[in-house]
Amino acid sequence: MMLYVIVPWCALFTFTQQATSAEKCVCELTNSEEAFPHDTLSTMEDNASKCNSEITSQKTLELESLLLGLERRLPQLQDDVSVLEKEDDGGLYGVLSLQVIENEIMDIKQLIDKLNSTTLGHQLLTIETTKQLENLKAEMQELEKYDTMQVVKRQQANQRLKRELNQCRNGLHSTIQPTQPQHGNCPHGQFLNITGPRVYTAGEYPGSYKYGAWGRDPKPEAGKESWYWLVMMTSSNRYSHYVRLYSSLSSLIVGVSIPGNVLIHSSNPTTNTIQGPNVVMYGEALYYNCYNQDAVCRFNLSTKTVTTLQLPKGTRFNSKGNFCHLDECYPYTDLDLATDESGVWVIYTTSQDFGNLVLSKVEEGEQLMLGQTWHTSVYKLGVTNTFIACGVLYVTRFVNKDVEEIFYSFDTVTGEEKFNIGVFISKMAPNIYALNYSPVDQMLHAYCDSYMVSYKVLFG
């Protein structure tokens, strides 16, 4: 037994001895394959990411909004010309209309010039990018020959199979979706979704004013149906003392304001100054949170007079009941004014509601009055904005810098609250400081970190 154990020990010893005393051992590995060109792959990666960063969705949107502007502008010109033709009595009226048309043609020319320079830029970019993509494709195919184990080929086949499987699954899903009940109160049907951005512009003052609001007056004076308004917080990101008007969407995009500013007061801030960005225009009047007051102000643009509407005792104001997300609160967003098919609303919060959203109808008679009020169970500090469409309040929250979610709704007709709306807004800038629905064309106008963006609301 003893001997049996010793023998292998001896054997091991002699083996080790032999190994250390041996000459240097050289192992020759002959590889019939070429070495993988890592350098080429890494330059290709750089080239591809350069390609990606040059073509952004902003570029296509810029073009889209210019075209949209032109599309809306041309019928307007046609209408005006035909009015002029009818009215041409050789007198003063004809001369005046001619001037209006000259202005319009100037606007359109500016728009076309901008479009021309944009499309030229895009053409160059397209040619350049196509060339680069072709190069990349050729090099990629060249590199595929190193895939001797067929790993990439199999991965590609797997991905294709997975895609087909998903398509198959989704196809099954869509056929068994339950039918939605009819919504009785909205002429457009039930709220379904929001499109991607339809208008995206930096406007006349690119990047100058982070906070503001813009939109269309749903009940304009005759002849001002295509006008747009813009209010920017021009002082301390909090206050403003004028409304800027544009005679069309394209004028707003190219930044030509023919009507110019309508001033509330020459000082800013002072009594009746606009405080906070969530303002709206309705019936030739601007509705907003008055400076240093728990009240709604109405500025009549024709008479330049201000009427106020005192909100209930306990209403939070002066940045005490703001819209917020986890990282920040939006200053002076205590009062959110809104428009829908039925008129003007105000959304706010009070101490007696423990910070939950409250909404009231604003009765816009000669005297402003507070109409019916509804109390919700959604906490204002956890939401970023609201809008109202067809008497239903929709509430948004911040998901990340690219996405906002419409997560909650409150139907003022049925009193029903829903916390599972799950409609996502694709953002062009991180913060939506003002959001309002235009009942005229079902567009949602957002003012985000100085950009003006709009979306179409889809009903069905």
Residues found near ligand NAG in the complex (CB under 6 A): 40, 43-44, 47, 116, 120, 135-136, 139, 193, 195-196, 283-285, 300, 302-303
- State the nearest-atom distance from the C-beta of 60 to ligand NAG, in Å: 15
Token pair in block for residue 1: 């037994």
Closer to ligand NAG by Cβ: residue 129 or 356: 129
In the structure encoding, which two tokens stand for residue 159, read together?
């991905």
Helix (H) or strand (E) holding 445: strand 443-448
Choice between 324 and 338, CB closer to ligand NAG: 338
Using the minimum distance from each CB to ligand NAG, give the nearer residue, 47 or 342: 47
Please choose, from the candidates 359, 357, 320, the residue with its C-alpha nearest in 3D space to the C-alpha of residue 339. Answer: 359
Q: Residue 207 to residues 230, 376, 429: CA-CA distances in angstroms?
A: 14, 36, 11
Structure tokens at 369: 């009055």
In the complex, minimum distance from the CB of residue 285 to ligand NAG, in angstroms, rounded to a whole number: 4
Encoded amino acid at 323, one letter:
F
CB of 154 to ligand NAG, least distance (A): 25
Place of tokens 């809008």: 387
In the complex, the smallest distance separating the C-beta of residue 192 from ligand NAG, rounded to whole angstroms, is 7
CB of 283 to ligand NAG, least distance (A): 4
Q: How far is the CB of 163 from ligand NAG (least distance, A)?
A: 17
The secondary structure of 381-435 as a DSSP string is GG--EEEEETTEEEEEEEEETTEEEEEEEEETTT--EES---EEEE-SSS-EEEE
CA atoms within 13 A on the CB side of 142: 13
Which one, 135 or 150, has the nearer CB to ligand NAG? 135
Find the shortest distance in angstroms from Cβ 47 to ligand NAG.
4
Task: For ligand NAG, give the closer residue by CB, 139 or 405.
Answer: 139
What element of type H or E holds 48? helix 38-54
Counting every residue written for the chain, the total comes to 460
Of 412, 448, 454, whose CA–CA distance to 433 is shortest?
448
Q: Rank residues 314 and 422 by Cβ distance to ligand NAG and give the closer one.
A: 422
Is 284 or 449 the residue whose CB approaches ligand NAG more closely? Answer: 284
Give the integer Cα–Cα distance in Å for 325 and 111: 38
